Structure 1
Amino acid sequence: MKATVVAAAAAILAGGASASRAHGHRHAHALFEKRGEAADEVCTPGCSTIYSTITGEITLLPPAPTSTSVAPEPTTTGPITVPTPIPQTCPTPGTYTFPATTIVVTETTTVCGGTPTEVPSGTHTLGGVTTVVETATTVVCPVATTETQDGVVTSVIKTTTFVCPSAGTYTIAPITTVVPTATTVVVPVVETYCPGTYTAPAVVTTVTETNVVVYCPFTSENPEPTLPPAPTSTPEEPKPEPPVETETPTPSPSPSPSPIPGPGLGSSGKLWAMTYTPFAETADGGCKSAEQVMEDVGKIATAGFTTLRVYSTDCDTLPNVGAAARAHGLRLIVGLFVGQVGCDNGNPSINEQIEALKEWKEWDLVDLCVVGNEALFNGFCSVSELTSLIGRTKSELAKVGYNGPFTTTDVVSAWTDNDVSSICEAIDVVATNAHAYFNSATDPSDAGKFVAGQLSIVEKVCGKPGYVMETGWPSAGKCNGIACAGEAEQRAAIESIERELGNKVVFFSFRDDAWKQPGDCNCEQHWGCASVWGL
């Protein structure tokens, strides 16, 4: 049975179809509609795990519902007491409507929830709590696990004391499962809900397969996130003899901790970054002069942005944008763009960009290096090729002094539909491009919730902090369902995104791009959003 996650009023094509668009000229971007969840693969370090059970009622995972109706009507089972994703079964292909559901939580509640994850055949290690320590440390935290009694599997929350012998990244109490064929498993997770009102919006979605289970997550009307309790840790001291009932995971080497991103990554204010390409706003899209770039960057700085994201090194991007950023006190996200099939040394564009970065090397301005923009989604790189390219770029730039964080950015489906464990190991933070306009069930006023949902999914894939490298809304073009393009709609969408998570997103883009093809949406030339901030 196939499982699909539908978040924040998003209509998902369960058969795997994706809506896409292409930004032409030197760079190609593709967007999406399909979304899902995936759990990250983990490594169990050589530490002792001591379990002590929290007393209280065991919380059962919500069972997958069944339906006997002939017409395509979704079904749900069981009472809903906390805002966990609602599982609903679509027995036959067709269009389904899921009504809105609202739950009010009156006090902080911690429960054992379940995350649906589709896995291929084989042995999988899933779930657990991932933590990074800088020295020998004992970590105490709640974890979700399963117990089997009389053949019935239930999920429970336990407190675990986890002894980490040295610095490294550790996953505490993961669960190992063996599946003979590709299937959807529900991974128990600790979920804490703060007091407030939670809503699963009404959703209309079309499915193309039989027996598709759709999960409809809730969104909170509270401004504060609802996170599980943070692990507590204490410096390592001489350890007493453990109790008789202990579990010792199979030892394996402890990976080295990833570099910690500098203070410039993200923003403490309302705004973080804007994408910027030094191409003229004309039909031929020539290169802007250094003076024009300086003027543009000055305007972006006055709006309160702290950072610029550039995609590549052409059009004298590094010297001109770098000089303007320095003059106006802005930071940079630099990039290596893959615009055609081939991620190896045989791609001359990649070699030229790496050499340009090495020659420029003004690393005091740089907060992040993005290797590839939707390279997986567009089929320009395989997972192994992109992993290798990230490693090569790290090595080359380290030779000339850059030791900051690296990432790659892609649409959610590229992260969830591939085994990206090697990429997760190669990057320091995870990143996605999320454009709510290409989801036909998202109103502009809900764009922020949509983008936040996309980011949450991607963060779970690698278990690392995440950022949105592209998000925005077109000021002109066709309607895509209830997602209509227009100046008022663009303003509403961008204000929604800024309220929800403006300090973790890069807005796309500064000005309209007359040199692009209009595309099927007739919108590709109209993503410039500077006017929203009066620029």
Structure 2
Amino acid sequence: MKAGFLAVAAAIASGVSAKGHKHGARHNHEAFHAERGVYATGVYSSGAPNATCGCTTIVSTIYGEATLYTPPAPAVTVPPTSTYAPATVPTPFVTTCPTPGTYTIPATTLTITEETTVCAPTSTKCTTGTNVAGGVTTVVETSTTVVCPYATTTVSGGVTTSTILTTTYVCPSAGTYTIAPITTVVSTETIWVYPTVTSYPVGTYTQPEVIETVTETDYVIFCPYTSSKPAAPVATYAPIAPPAPKYTPTTSSSGGLGNSGKKWAITYSPYTASGECKSAGSVMSDVQQIANSGYTTVRIYGSACSGLENVGAACQAYGLKMIIGVFIDETGLTGMAATDVSAILAWKQWSLVELIVIGNEAVFNNYCTGSELASFISSCKTQFSNAGYTGPCTTTEPLDILQANTAVICEVIDVVGCNIHPYFNGATPAASAGSFVAGQLALVDALCPGKTGINLETGWPSAGNCIGVSCPSPSNQAIALQSIAEAVGGKSCVLSFFDDLWKQPGDCGCETSFGIEAIVYEW
């Protein structure tokens, strides 16, 4: 299935709406210093009144050998100098548009030569009332004391400034703790932009030119940077010639993905029915429902709508793992995909991550070739590994696409991901969905010797058009999902917990209707 994404970027501020509010900017001002010298006049007062003063002139002549007098060199005062300048970092650029019109934000490129940690922005939609976000989430296995940096804000003279502080927190027992979260109270739904501690690795960061027509007053445009590391640039990818297949059988690197039960993973997209970003509170509530239903892993397709931060915090709160993604769309490997890579490297909550999926049906949709995808996966894996990730990476495509590209794909993935949809087969009735998926998964298992297959997207719609004998309906959906759960539920990621009403129905009339919320407790 093709997942759509809304890119949301953020700026460093707190409690800010994307419309209806002006953004205050705080600038650092250099101090100007001047040295003032005090010089002697050569005139001294005796302190006696002039009327009583008398003068006596004494003339003395002294004879002796002549000598040369060399006065000492005057003291030289060297003005203080600084040999250090703060690094410029590529935090998202914010522009406030006070009136309607067309605004052009020029392209900017920054290169940083040393890793820098700063307050960087993230955003979420707030619902009316009290909202909590940010902070540092940690998981401990026993009572322990944690010392960690955290991002917070201070307000002075009506100006909000983000800063990094350090705190000591005592975790009294094993569990998940969020340290120093930020709280805000709003009277209406608004966009809240808050700081997070973010490290920028060495590399070149680019913010492309943005031209936007604004129809509202006080409209805010956020422009994020994308990055490329010098050792592994992600800006361009030249197709590579497919090498001859050369496989060395190894122990499966799937790392125990999935389980032997009926439920493992399910997809989630943090969008409202109208396509807007859900608030952190709404995401938390949604993930709680997923946890209560028995699924143990949540798959997200990319970083849009603060998905890493909000879904990550919710998964930590309810003890779930994540399958995170780098989404490749029509912009190829330099657009949304590069943004997702940068977001993952900034977030890097590796303890939550069960698998990273680099591309979702990208070759199937002609967004790149198999060779280009393989090169991109290799580059991403290097960057994630350098940032501390030790888990598996893969991509996911329909079976026929994988079969046509094993020569280039098998060598760069750790587990073989495939999207297996019995409904789109057209020759599979709902009752046979499980056996169809199991048969396809067996073929996936055999594609790359030594690497296990995993079903990363499957399901059955509750509404839409029949494709051959595959017909959507609430009853057929329940039959199909029960069949899949019985056959390969522990090795399958279901699309999806909620209906994706933000999508277009598509030719099948079904794209919005894969949610299983109403039937999830039937197996």
Q: TM-score, normalised by structure 1?
A: 0.51
Query: Sequence identity, in percent?
Result: 45
Q: CA deviation at 1:260?
A: 3.1
Match of 2:481 in 1: 494
1:173-206, Cα deviation, whole Å (9 max, x unpaired) = xxxxxxxxxxxxxxxxxxxxxxxxxxxxxxxxxx
Q: Is the 8 A contact 2:2 2:360 kept in 1?
A: no
Query: Which residue pairs with 1:290 in the alignment?
Result: 280
Shift of 1:419: 3.5
Residue 361 of structure 1 is matched in structure 2 by 348
> Aligned to 1:435, which of 398, 421, 426?
421
Query: Per-residue CA shift, 1:309-350, capped at 9, x if unaligned?
Result: 11000100001000100110101111101011523xxx1322
Matched, 1:323 2:309: no
Q: Alignment partner for residue 302 of structure 2, among 312, 315, 323?
A: 312
- CA 1:362 to 1:512, structure 2 compared with 1: closer, same or farther past 3 Å? same
Deviations 1:44-98 (A, max 9, x none): xxxxxxxxxxxxxxxxxxxxxxxxxxxxxxxxxxxxxxxxxxxxxxxxxxxxxxx
- Match for residue 57 of structure 2? none
CA-atom RMSD in angstroms: 2.2
Counterpart mapping for 1:454-533 below 5 A: 454-463=440-449, 464-533=451-520
Q: Does the 8 Å CA contact 1:24/1:517 hold for their aligned counterparts?
A: no
Give the total of aligned pairs.
284
Residue 447 (structure 1) aligns with: 433
- CA 1:444 to 1:256, structure 2 compared with 1: closer, same or farther past 3 Å? closer
> Does structure 1 residue 405 correspond to structure 2 residue 397?
no
The question of 1:332 aligning with 2:322 is answered yes
Partner of 2:361: 374
Shift of residue 494 of structure 1? 0.3
Question: Corresponding residue for 1:270?
Answer: 262
Shift, 1:270, TM fit: 2.0
- Cα distance in 2, alignment partners of residues 450 and 353 from structure 1: 33
Note if contact 2:6-2:305 (Cα within 8 Å) is conserved in structure 1: no
**How far off is 1:488 after superposition?**
0.3
Gaps of 5+ in 1: 1-20, 28-251
User: Does the 8 Å contact 2:429/2:469 carry over to 1?
Assistant: yes
3-state SS in 1 of match to 2:324: strand
Instruction: Give the distance between the partners of 1:341 and 1:411, measured in 2 at CA.
Output: 21
Show the counterpart of 1:202: none
Gaps of 5+ in 2: 8-244
CA separation in 2, counterparts of 1:349 and 1:22? 14
* Residues 524 and 492 (structure 1), Cα distance of their counterparts in 2 relative to 1, 3 Å cut: same
For 2:284, the aligned partner's letter is M
**Aligned structure 1 segments of 4 or more residues deviating by more than 4 angstroms:** 21-27, 252-259
**Contact 1:511/1:527 (8 A) holds in 2:** yes
3-state SS of 1:274 partner: strand
In structure 2, distance between residues paired with 1:359 and 1:454? 36
The answer as to whether partners of 1:23 and 1:517 remain within 8 angstroms in 2 is: no
Question: What is the DSSP-based 3-state SS (H/G/I as helix, E as strand, rest coil) of the residue aligned with 2:447?
Answer: helix
TM, length-normalised to structure 2: 0.52
Q: Provide the rounded CA distance (Å) in 2 between the counterparts of 1:331 and 1:23.
A: 21
Tell me the equivalent position of 1:261: 254
Q: CA deviation at 1:262?
A: 3.2
Q: Which amino acid aligns with 2:413?
A: I
Question: Secondary structure at the residue paired with 1:316?
Answer: helix
Over 3 Å counting, the alpha-carbon distance change for 1:258 and 1:479 in structure 2 is same
Any idea what the Cα deviations from partners look like across 1:110-154, whole Å, max 9, x if unmatched?
A: xxxxxxxxxxxxxxxxxxxxxxxxxxxxxxxxxxxxxxxxxxxxx
**1:421·1:462 contact (CA, 8 Å) conserved in 2?**
no
- Going from structure 1 to structure 2, the CA distance change for 1:514 and 1:253 (only over 3 Å counts) comes to closer
